[in-house]
Amino acid sequence: MEFKGVKIGELLKHSLSAGNVFLGDFKGISHKKFFIIVGLSFEKIYFCSVYINSNIPKYMYSNEILLNLQVNIKGSKYDFLKHDSFVSCNNPLKYNVNDLVAWINEGSCKYVGDIDREDLENITTTTINSGVLTQKDINVLFNKNKSP
* pTM: predicted TM-score of the whole model, two decimal places: 0.84
Q: Average pLDDT, stretch 62-68?
A: 92
**pLDDT tens figures, 4-63:** 444 555 556 668 889 999 999 988 888 999 999 998 887 665 687 888 888 888 888 999
What is the pLDDT at residue 33?
92
Closest by CA to 48, choosing from 94, 15, 97, is: 94
Closest by CA to 71, choosing from 124, 27, 33, is: 124
**Quick count: other Cβ atoms within 10 Å of Cβ 127?**
27
- Rounded to whole angstroms, the Cα distance separating 79 from 106 reads 24
What is the pLDDT at residue 148?
42
CATH number for 2-141 (one of 3.40.190.10, 3.40.50.300, 2.30.30.110, 3.30.420.40): it is 2.30.30.110
**pLDDT tens figures, 90-122:** 989 888 888 888 888 899 999 999 999 999 999
Return the exposure string of 33-57: e unless at least 16 CB atoms fall within 10 Å of the residue's CB, then b. bbbbbbbbbeeebbbbbbbbeeebe
**pLDDT tens figures, 116-148:** 999 999 999 999 999 999 998 898 888 754 444
- Rounded to whole angstroms, the Cα distance separating 83 from 96 reads 30
Between 10 and 3, the more confident residue is 10
